[in-house]
Amino acid sequence: MSAGKGKKIKKFMVHSSYATKSSKYMQSALKDDWKEGQEKRVNPSDYEAETLEGYIDWLYTKDVTLVNAEKECISHEPSRSRGRQDSDCSFLHCLKLAKMYTLGDYLNDMRFCNAVIDAMVLMRDCYPGPDAVQWVWSKTMEGCPVRKHILERWAAILRHEDIAGYIKKHSSKLPKDFLIDLLTTVGADHRSDILRVATARRALKEKCKFNLHFDDSDKCS
């Protein structure tokens, strides 16, 4: 197996018995009538080498490992405040886990996806920042469990924050579908706050445009 692009591509040797144990994609890809099976090589090119390395670690150990996460956190500029560093580390950890989950989804390995979700739940400081949100909403389908988890985390934390200000600050990175999902998740209490953000209003208006409305209570807005 290999991952990465250009000079950052990295190859890993994996026993076929491990690679095919829980991944339906690998079970099919390594058959002789597939190119990957003939070459005995699979390359999920959209992913970094460390994401694939985390998956391979799990194949052999059943532990979800954040490759290089602590090293990258330690390397932050010392001038930053401790609170900011903790926040950045939290974003980084969750982004790495988000990439690992979507790799598992790509490989159709639901056991790995479940293990990653468990790691997210247990890691209390794993806050899915805008980069993790953008990655997950671009790589997964509606109703995906990792989307539900991220929405619950945002809803729980943003109840105590300036939700409109935070979303406005990061609106360029937040997918429209996520904003609509968040509106649904937080309910009426914060609906008006979110709709103060122009990006959220436009997102809801575009979705509402083609809906059928039966009475005033059924309208999207």
Measured CA to CA, the distance from residue 185 to residue 142 in angstroms comes to: 14
Domain that residue 90 falls in: 2-158
Rounded distance between C-alpha atoms, residue 221 and residue 202, angstroms: 11
pLDDT higher than 60, residue 72: yes
Q: Which of 62-71, 82-91, 103-112 has the lowest mean pLDDT?
A: 82-91
Domain assignment of residue 73, yes or no: yes
Question: 123 Cβ partners below 8 Å, 6+ apart?
Answer: 93, 94, 97
Q: Per the domain annotation, does 182 fall within a domain?
A: no
Residue 214 lies in a domain: no
Domain-embedded: residue 37: yes
Q: Average pLDDT of the chain?
A: 79
Within 16-144, residue ranges assigned H as helices are 16-19, 24-29, 35-39, 49-61, 69-74, 82-106, 110-122, 130-139
Does residue 7 lie in a domain region?
Answer: yes
pLDDT confidence of residue 159 = 65
Distance CA 48, CA 96 (A): 10
What is the distance between the alpha carbons of residues 22 and 39, in angstroms, rounded to a whole number? 21
Over residues 81-99, the pLDDT tens digits come to: 444 444 678 888 999 999 9
At 32, which CATH number? 3.30.710
Asked whether residue 17 is domain-assigned, the answer is yes
| CA dist list (Å): 45 to 6, 10, 60, 99, 143 | 10, 11, 22, 13, 25
Establish if 164 belongs to a structural domain.
no
Instruction: Say what the pLDDT of residue 119 is.
Output: 92
- Residue 148 confidence (pLDDT) above 80: yes
Complete DSSP assignment for 121-154: HH-TT----HHHHHHHHHHS-TT-HHHHHHHHHH
For 188-220, the pLDDT digits (tens) are 666 666 776 777 777 767 666 565 555 555 455
Q: Half-sphere exposure of residue 22, counting CA atoms within 13 Å on the CB side?
A: 15
Q: Pick from 169, 109, 100, 99: which is nearest to 134 by CA?
A: 99
pLDDT of the residue at 8 = 76
With cut-offs at 50, 70 and 90, classify the pLDDT of residue 34: low
Establish if 41 belongs to a structural domain.
Answer: yes
Which distant-in-sequence residues (6+ apart) come within 8 Å of 141 by Cβ? none
In the chain, how many domains are there? 1
